[in-house]
Structure 1
Amino acid sequence: MASRVTANLPSADFDRTEEFYGRLGFARGYRDEGWMILANGPYEIEFFPMNIDPASSWFSACLRTDDLDGLYETFSAAGLPQDDKAIPRLGEPVVEPHGIRLFYMLDPDGSLIRVIDEAYQG
């Protein structure tokens, strides 16, 4: 049996969250008033309702991929701002000082998504 872990993040507005992640290629797998699951291929994020201040959110999740550039291209097509103060926003791919190649995305509720390049051999 395969094992997996899925991220659980807050959403102040399921409609807004579903629309936002839909622009990133995610589709509804499940939704009721207390839980929502969105998936994009192997990437699955689960959401629970919570009133949250996006500017003070500390929630985060990592998506690990062998195709960082392809996923970045998909996310970029959503037209997210790259201003480092905007919420939501998208950062460009970088190689961190510790040698991990990744890009960051902040969703409308301030949750930080780190997209990590599993294929990078820096």
Structure 2
Amino acid sequence: MDHATPNLPSTSFEATSRFYLSLGFEESWRDEGWMILNRGGIALEFFPYPDLKAAESNFSCCLRLDDMDAMYKACKEAGLPEQCWGWPRLHPPQREDSGLTIAYMVDPDGSLIRLIQN
């Protein structure tokens, strides 16, 4: 089966791992130059970017989910605030003009993660 894995920046693998573990991800690989986190069929891969400023990040990816509500609930239960500023944060799901239901999460390094209901 073909698949893609987003490559995202991390200012600290330890901090990134702790954040995503709180959302139900598991660490499947880490060395000094690469880290892979998995949650079900989702794989996120991270590279070191120690000088990244979250406010200047333009990294993003889409997670197309069979149960977007469960993922959003995991984010809420991990304490991510629903707000329009700061890192990390959440934006509640809404039906967009495209017809898709999308929620938005911004991780501690400023990467925008779109949570899209399949």
Q: What is the TM-score with the length of structure 1 in the denominator?
A: 0.93
Q: What's the offset of the Cα at 1:97?
A: 2.1
**Structure 2 residue runs without a partner (length 5+):** none
* Length, aligned pairs only: 117
Percent identical? 49
Residue 65 of structure 2 is matched in structure 1 by 65
Residue 100 of structure 2 is matched in structure 1 by 100
Q: What's the offset of the Cα at 1:52?
A: 0.5
Coordinate RMSD, CA, aligned? 0.8
Specify the SS of the correspondent of 1:93: strand
State whether structure 2 residue 116 is matched by structure 1 residue 91. no
Specify the SS of the correspondent of 1:25: coil
Specify the SS of the correspondent of 2:105: strand
* Deviation string, structure 1 residues 51-104 (Cα, Å, up to 9, x no partner): 201001000011001111111111211011112112110111111122210100
Specify the SS of the correspondent of 1:99: coil
Residue 14 of structure 1 is matched in structure 2 by 13
Q: What is the TM-score with the length of structure 2 in the denominator?
A: 0.96
User: Residue type of the partner of 1:29?
Assistant: S
CA distance in 2: counterparts of 1:101 and 1:83, whole angstroms: 18
- After TM superposition, where is structure 1 displaced by more than 2 Å over at least 4 residues in a row? none
CA distance in 1: counterparts of 2:45 and 2:104, whole angstroms: 18
**Structure 1 residue runs without a partner (length 5+):** none
